[in-house]
Amino acid sequence: MEIKSKSFLRQADIVSYKIKPKQSCIYSYDTDDRKNRALIKVGPSTWSPPQSFEAVGQASECVIEGEMDEAHLGINVETGLGQYKLTKVVTIRPRYIVESFLDEPIYYRQPGAKEYSVLDSGGKKDIIFLRSDTPCLCLRFGGNRNKWSNPFNIQDLGKVYVKLDKVEGASDLVKVNVIINEATIRLQITQVKDQKLWPYQIKNLTDKTITFYQKVTPKQQLISGRGSLGERRWTRVYRIQLLPPHSSQSNGLCMGLSRRIQPRARPGH
């Protein structure tokens, strides 16, 4: 990582400081102007927009553009202790860290990417470079024939349930706890012990084809900002079919379900 100064109404310095991983250094500006800023560079990325280290207690995200990927960093500013009480301690960490509490390795990647990473049981890894404005991940168990899960947003704090299909036809449910610690978002992957306690599981035991969808009401959309008004996603449930649950996070909103048995429609909850 490299860092350099930029004074107010001036060009950024040519000389930069190189900081190795897990290394500390003493850094200061040429003047005591509170409008001084710092520029950060990570690996092959470009220089970041000007960053302020003045506000003590701030925890913010720094996104740095690159040729292919964007670097996501978390910046935390605190006051030093003891003889460093007049010094501001700036900690720069990866914005995202994924942790596994499973009994077997788990694979993860970005949607559509060919490259993937392997996370061993009890391990954790940093995620710095991402390809899209909306950071998402897909999961799967080991084995090239196992399918990747549907992508889920790693910015949404809370609990997300992800269904992982196995090659032998079985499916496991894992829970991803998305929490924030200072300026770092942690993704904690755990196994759902009781596989019968899925968030949503729908069985059609009739001889009719049932179509159901989830609809965002105007009030819910005003709060969540998801989709367009009256957005509907139709799914057919055929007779004696077990439908896998959708990864969902209600965020305190009421979730309604409408069902339609040909040819009539019946709203319900």
pLDDT in tens, the chain (269 residues): 889 888 876 777 777 888 888 888 888 887 888 888 999 999 888 999 999 988 899 899 999 988 788 899 999 999 999 988 889 999 999 999 999 999 889 999 998 888 899 999 999 999 999 887 778 999 998 877 888 998 999 998 999 888 888 777 677 888 999 999 999 999 999 988 776 666 666 777 888 887 776 665 555 444 444 444 444 444 444 443 444 444 444 333 334 444 555 554 445 54
Q: How many CA atoms lie within 13 A of 88 on its CB side?
A: 15
Record the pTM: 0.70
